[in-house]
Amino acid sequence: MKNLKHFKKFPSIFLLLAIILGSGFIVTSCSSGKKALTRGDYYQSVLISVQRLRRNPDHKKSRETLASSYPASLEFFEDNIRNLQARDDRAKWRGIMDNYTKINSMYEEIRKSPGAREVIPNPKNYYDELKIARENAAEESYQYGLSELNKGNRESAKLAYAAFKDTDGYVSSYKDVNERMNQAYWMATLKVLIKPIPTAYTKVELSAQFFEDKIHENLKSQPINEFVKFLTVEELNQIGMQADHVLQLQFDEFTLGQIATLERQIDQINDSVVVGSVKNPAYNPNLNQSVPVNSVESNLTNNNEGAATNTNQTNTGLITTNTSTTKKETPKVIICHKDESNKLSNVEINASELLGHLKHGDSVGACTTENNESTEENKVFVCHKTDKGSINLEINESALIAHLEHGDSFGNCPVENKEEENVENNATTTGGTNNSTSTTNTTASNLTNTNQASNVQEPEFLYVYGTAKAKVFIFEKTLTSNGILDFKILDAQSNSVVATEKMAGEYVWKSMWGYFNGDERALTQDQLNITGQKEQNPPSDQELFGLFTEPIFNQVLNKVREFYSRY
């Protein structure tokens, strides 16, 4: 409708455009016909002019071109016919037939165009003469095929096969041309016998037969060229012919399921396991800057004089653990848990269960109902393992799962407590039984003052680390299957080797499983994956044979195609 509106609005523009395009076609068509006439291509000039007059019977230039080109073209073909009839040429009747065919083609084109018939009212045809020429061309081609066939070699047989195909095209089923064509084809074709693969191992007889059938099927469905055929013994017997070549495939040696087992025992130790937490004395609740819970090692533990202070602090922390027994108790972590109905609740879990909860959408720390419109992502600390040791690394909370899966631990790395050494030195200098506790409080006060000065918020809780130990037992079983195929192409008459090659293939099946005794938290993620596996059943001998011969199969096909492409 939109285009129609434009047409109604600007009819003259569309009309002018149509005239220009039509005129361009007329000029091109007429010009092409005239050019063909000028260069002596009378036949093409006739066809172009007739085509133009079929669209515009009154086109002056096309009528003039046709009036000149048709007589010239007719004279040209008739002269060719007379010359060919006078010659003693093997393919003269084929040439005569082609010339009669073109004269008749001009006759049919002119007859279908009223404008062309006004210019050439009586075009000539040679249908009767063409029929005789076809018979003569068929006999001519048939006799040539017989003469080549009688030479008894492959190259001559190829020429005979082509001649018999032409004969059948001129006159369908001429004499015994179909039988002669079949005879010439098989004489021209190199017949390759695929010899059955011998094997003394009865368990893989089916696989060996399958291997052989695959090769035969592939070569049949994707032939290399018209005159190479791959046949079985039964097919050769069926056509009553002998092979020219023999494709011989034989395994010199092969091994199925050579078993190798490996058992490893690993004393696995993880000294970065969270076993508890304490309240951070440097945490300043008056600062507006909010940071997530960071897991840094407590510098207030392992101190007898300060034990009472530490115990009071842990009762208000994220993880409620008595510091005097933290290494014997299972660490607990508070998370914001989302149930199936998306209801949020604070849940206390084992630290070792943190990764699983994070994967199901839970988050570290207590739930909050505050509307926080900030788009900045929470940061957390992990103890990141590198080639040179472990380092403290601050990451986005969204990256925590990936780090835990790769063996990092939640929180800062355990380090020697330099602050405690300073506390003990200060206590010795000042004296008194309460100096240690007093110095600890002073240190916390100093940390708080420093934070206030810098306006940087410290984490609210500090994690305490312990060591987890386990014995890990890993088992690995491999079954290696391999073999060498002796590939040969033999001359069927002399039994001489035409081509030979050794082709190797191998397949290794592997199964890993294991178990552990001790604390699961000591294991790496890879060890957890392996200990969660059971020993698998290996493939059968038939399957192993097929797997290790797969690369050999490809080598055989490539070699065969390369060799016979020149035949």
- Model pLDDT for residues 223-247, shown as the tens digit of each residue: 888 999 999 999 999 989 999 999 9
Residue 297 domain-assigned (yes or no)? yes
Residue 87 domain-assigned (yes or no)? yes
The pLDDT of residue 400: 80
Residue 337 domain-assigned (yes or no)? yes
The pLDDT of residue 26: 40
Number of domains in the chain: 2
The pLDDT of residue 377: 67
Residue 427 domain-assigned (yes or no)? yes
> What b/e string do you get for 117-135 counting C-beta neighbours within 10 Å, with b at 16 or more?
bebbeebeebeebbeebbe
Chain-centre distance for alpha carbon 161? 44
Taking alpha carbons only, the member of 98, 102, 118, 101 closest to residue 110 is 118
Q: Are 324 and 306 in contact (CB under 8 A)?
A: no
Rounded Cα distance between 352 and 468, Å, is 11
Chain-centre distance for alpha carbon 546? 23
CA-based max dimension of the chain: 140
Residue 237 domain-assigned (yes or no)? no
Q: Which of 69, 90, 125 delimits the end of a domain?
A: 125
Q: Which of 104, 125, 146 delimits the end of a domain?
A: 125
Rounded Cα distance between 83 and 357, Å, is 98
Residue 340 domain-assigned (yes or no)? yes
The structure's pTM equals: 0.53
- Antiparallel, parallel or unpaired: β 379-386 and 389-396: antiparallel
Parent domain of 102: 2-125
The pLDDT of residue 280: 80
Residue 220 domain-assigned (yes or no)? no
Q: Which of 63, 97, 125 delimits the end of a domain?
A: 125
Give alpha helix (H) positions in 388-494: 400-405, 418-430, 435-454
Rounded Cα distance between 61 and 58, Å, is 9
Rounded Cα distance between 265 and 257, Å, is 25
Pick out the chain residues at pLDDT < 70.
1-31, 200-203, 206, 288-331, 369-377, 387-388, 414-455
Rounded Cα distance between 349 and 366, Å, is 12
The pLDDT of residue 387: 65
- Residue 447, token pair as written in the block: 């940390």
Residue 110 domain-assigned (yes or no)? yes
